[in-house]
């Protein structure tokens, strides 16, 4: 199935000049949703994964479904002040300025084999911050799997040394 058919381009969202990739048509269509989930499971290829780690908020659409299907636990990475328990924090660069992501300190055990999932890889700043947090907690990153890679933004460069997959590339 050609998943790209289910991605809607929205110009000038959330700011003028941005071509936003809207994944909600894919989520809305059960065949496309199932095909995407099956493709994510195929990327795991039977490797042992202890935890799937995804970032708020669009990483939460597929992250828990992938975890359930491959027999792993799910770890939410959230924006500041949202997680109730003690957290590891990581600052990361945005287009303008910086932001922070947080993960619970007990979410990853030393030696855990981790799959990182998000919907979109753009500049790679978000994923790089999650890589740092997982590694700080002692996790081993097996791969990073995205629905979409905006390749013209060179996000993969920030993730050099890791296996990075995407179902759709622009
Ligand atoms: O590769 P980067 O340049 O870091 O960008 C990618 C991130 O941007 C989007 O999240 P956003 O911060 O818009 O939050 P949302 O998922 O809550 O919409 C997307 O879901 C990724 O997490
Ligand atoms: N162009 C884009 N479309 C959707 N999500 C994004 N996250 C960062 N850039 C994005």
Domain ranges of the chain: 46-169
**How far apart (Å, rounded) are the C-alpha atoms in residues 82 and 155?**
26
Cβ-contact 144, 117 below 8 angstroms: yes
* pLDDT above 90 for 132: yes
Identify the residue whose C-alpha is closest to ligand 1 atom 14: 57
- The number of the ligand 1 atom at minimal distance from the alpha carbon of 124 is 1
Q: State yes or no: ipTM above 0.90.
A: yes
pLDDT at 54 over 80: yes
> For 7, which DSSP code?
P
Look up tokens 């759709």; give the residue: 168
Catalytic positions, please? 58, 95
> Which two tokens mark 125?
């700043």
Angstrom distance (rounded) from CA 1 to CA 89: 39
- Backbone conformation region of residue 81, classed left if phi is above 0, alpha if psi is from -120 to 50, else beta: left
Answer whether 69's CB lies under 8 Å from 127's CB.
Answer: no
CB of 121 sitting under 6 A from ligand 2? no
Query: What local confidence, expressed as pLDDT, does residue 167 receive?
Result: 98
The alpha carbon of 120 and the centre of ligand 1 are apart by a number of angstroms equal to 7
59 lines ligand 2 (CB under 6 A): no
Place of tokens 């269509």: 29
Query: What's the pLDDT at 155?
Result: 96
Pick the CATH number of 46-169 from 3.40.50.2020, 3.90.1170.20, 3.40.109.10, 3.40.50.720: 3.40.50.2020
Q: Which residues contact 143 (CB under 8 A, 6 or more apart)?
A: 43, 44, 47, 115, 116, 162, 163, 164, 165
Q: How confident is the model over 29-48, as a mean pLDDT?
A: 98
In ligand 2, the atom with minimum distance to the C-alpha of 119 is 5
Task: Classify residue 104 by burial, with Cβ atoms within 10 Å: 0-12, 13-18, 19+.
Answer: middle
Query: In this predicted model, what pLDDT tens digit does every residue of 69-102 receive, in sequence order?
Result: 999 999 999 999 999 999 999 999 887 789 999 9
Residue among 8, 10, 16, 21 to mutate when testing ligand 2 (max atoms within 8 A of CB): 21
């Amino acid at each position: 199935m050609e998943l790209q058919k289910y991605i809607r381009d929205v110009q000038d969202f959330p700011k003028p000049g941005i071509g936003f990739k809207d994944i909600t048509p894919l989520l809305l269509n059960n065949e496309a949703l199932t095909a995407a989930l099956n493709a994510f499971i195929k990327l795991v290829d039977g490797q042992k994964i202890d935890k799937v780690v995804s970032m708020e908020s669009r990483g939460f659409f597929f992250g828990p479904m992938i975890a359930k299907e491959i027999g792993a636990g799910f770890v939410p990475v959230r924006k500041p002040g949202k997680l109730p328990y003690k957290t590891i924090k990581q600052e990361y660069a945005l287009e303008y300025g910086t932001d922070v992501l947080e993960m619970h300190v007990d979410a990853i055990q030393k030696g855990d084999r981790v799959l990182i999932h998000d919907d979109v890889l753009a500049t790679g700043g978000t994923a790089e911050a999650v890589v740092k947090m997982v590694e700080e907690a002692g996790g081993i990153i097996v791969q990073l799997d995205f629905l979409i890679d905006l390749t013209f933004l060179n996000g993969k460069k920030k993730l050099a040394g890791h296996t990075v997959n995407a179902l759709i590339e622009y």
